[in-house]
Structure 1
Amino acid sequence: MFMNLAHRGASAYAPENTLAAFYKGLEQGANGIETDLKISKDGVVLLFHDHELDRTTDGHGRPSSYTWKELQELDAGSWFSSAYAGERLVSFEQFLHYFGRRKVLLALELKDPHIELPVLELIRQFDVQPQTTITSFGYENLQAVRAIDPSIRIGHLIRKIDEEAIARLKEIGAGQICPCTDGLEHKDVQLAKSHGLEVRAWGASTPELMRHALQCGVDGMTINFPDLLSEEICRLT
């Protein structure tokens, strides 16, 4: 099954990492959701990408400087469109309540250090391990995940596939390698697959890059416009 993962939800059409964006992504044909995990001052795991709140909320500074109660008061939708004024940040627990019971893939990117244990505890609590892949640009995050859980699927977000990256993933029993679409080559994808790795691309920010990733033979990608990817997959099959 090709992974059509709504990137922070259908983030071309709704404010990223909000319930509105996640529901929109599934409506548009995504069979999975990609999101980012950070942690609040009082230890609540929340869905947020940036280092600071300023771009996508009316708050300022780092999420880790605020309690979850304070973060819940922020407007996470008006920056995108007045139609989404009042959209709120989402906790990981809330996210799993709404989407963990659905038959959708969950791609969870760890954005903070030392976040692995509370994330894994919630994954176990909601029994979503079979549909979950934990990813990170930080190799140390992935090492920490593997030290706690020997079986959950993990993937490494990297710029480009090479033998060294593959070797590092095999050391921690990763099943997925996640290269950037820009610069991706068919031979790189075949190399990763020859080592038994699933290839999920990121950074397909335009329809042209989306089609390039498909031509390279990837197994899936994160995408801001899952409707266009769904249409392209239907056209090719």
Structure 2
Amino acid sequence: MHIIAHRGFSSRYTEMSAEAYEKALELPIHGVECDVRLSKDGQLMCFHDPTLLRMFDDPRRVASTSSKELSALGVLRLDELLDMVLAYPNRHLYIEAKHPTRFGRMLEEQIVLRLCYRKLVDDPRMHYISFSTAGTRRMAKLAPKMHTVRLLRDWEWCAKGQGISLVRGRANPEKITANTYMFTVNEPEDIRWAQQQGLGMLATDAPDVALSLQTNQ
């Protein structure tokens, strides 16, 4: 079972901060996950929410804020995270495109552009995930060799090999395969259960806990 640090080592450090990713990458795990949005000036920024309110008590929208202003707050650019990940030869990066967005298809286009610039678009360490059906279809056309995962809401049909929540996984364990990506699994008993089901990819805020349980099997 591949352990993926959800938003970095977010159970101990500020989510998607440089420190959260540094600490996660130091662990002998499969990889890390990030969310990406486009800034006002079209730069890919690692940020989950559409606004800065929850993280910075700032009502501005990410899409209406410049990359310079976001960087000043400590928000990482995707390029910066790529530098960190590439410092570890065997670490994978799961890039979640956040939709809906006023930029539409530009989000996938910019992801491919940045990966192409580094000759990573066909690299097996790079993965694309999204709740957006349109986004995953676009990525399949733009980068047909890239591994993509369509994340499913709990009310959506659970197809094999997709990205599902722990709740949906518990409800439909027969759908879990070695190609399934499950989010966000943090409790020890849930991590053990997921591994027993033959889960392929586990996204967790507590990669250290998942690693210790996997080591102790």
TM-score by length of 1: 0.81
Counterpart of 1:60 in 2: which secondary structure?
coil
> Unpaired segments of 5 or more residues in structure 1?
75-87, 167-175
Report the equivalent of 2:76.
Answer: 90
In structure 2, relative to structure 1, the CA distance for the partners of 1:44 and 1:163 (3 Å cut) is closer
TM-score by length of 2: 0.87
Note the C-alpha offset of 1:73.
2.0
What letter matches 2:50 in structure 1? H
Report the equivalent of 2:91.
Answer: 104
Counterpart of 2:216 in 1: which secondary structure?
helix
CA shift digits 1:180-219 (9 cap, x unpaired): 11241431115xx6xxxx1111021322322222222201
CA shift digits 1:89-117 (9 cap, x unpaired): 10011111222242201111000432001
1:117 aligns with 2:116: no
Report the equivalent of 1:186.
Answer: 173
Hey, what's the Cα distance between the residues in 1 that align with 2:158 and 2:12? 37
Note the C-alpha offset of 1:30.
2.5
Note the C-alpha offset of 1:162.
8.2
**Aligned 1:137-148 pairs, distance under 5 A:** 137-148=131-142
Report the equivalent of 2:195.
Answer: 214
CA shift digits 1:17-49 (9 cap, x unpaired): 111001111233322010101000000000000
Report the equivalent of 1:44.
Answer: 43
Hey, what's the Cα distance between the residues in 1 that align with 2:37 and 2:134? 15
Report the equivalent of 1:235.
Answer: 216
Hey, what's the Cα distance between the residues in 2 that align with 1:97 and 1:163? 37
Note the C-alpha offset of 1:132.
1.0
**Aligned 1:162-201 pairs, distance under 5 A:** 165-166=159-160, 176-184=161-169, 185-190=172-177, 198-201=179-182
Report the equivalent of 2:65.
Answer: 66
Question: Which residue of the other structure, out of 198, 201, 205, is the alignment partner of 1:224?
Answer: 205
Counterpart of 1:130 in 2: which secondary structure?
coil
Of residues 157-166 and 4-13 in structure 1, the stretch that sits farther from structure 2 once superposed is: 157-166
Note the C-alpha offset of 1:147.
1.9
Note the C-alpha offset of 1:59.
2.9
Note the C-alpha offset of 1:9.
0.2
Q: Percent identity?
A: 24
RMSD between aligned alpha carbons? Answer: 2.0
Report the equivalent of 1:53.
Answer: 52
Report the equivalent of 1:85.
Answer: none
Hey, what's the Cα distance between the residues in 2 that align with 1:47 and 1:32? 16
Contact persistence 2:159–2:175 (CA under 8 A): no
Count the aligned residue pairs.
207
Shift >3 Å, 4+ stretches: 159-166
Contact persistence 1:182–1:204 (CA under 8 A): no
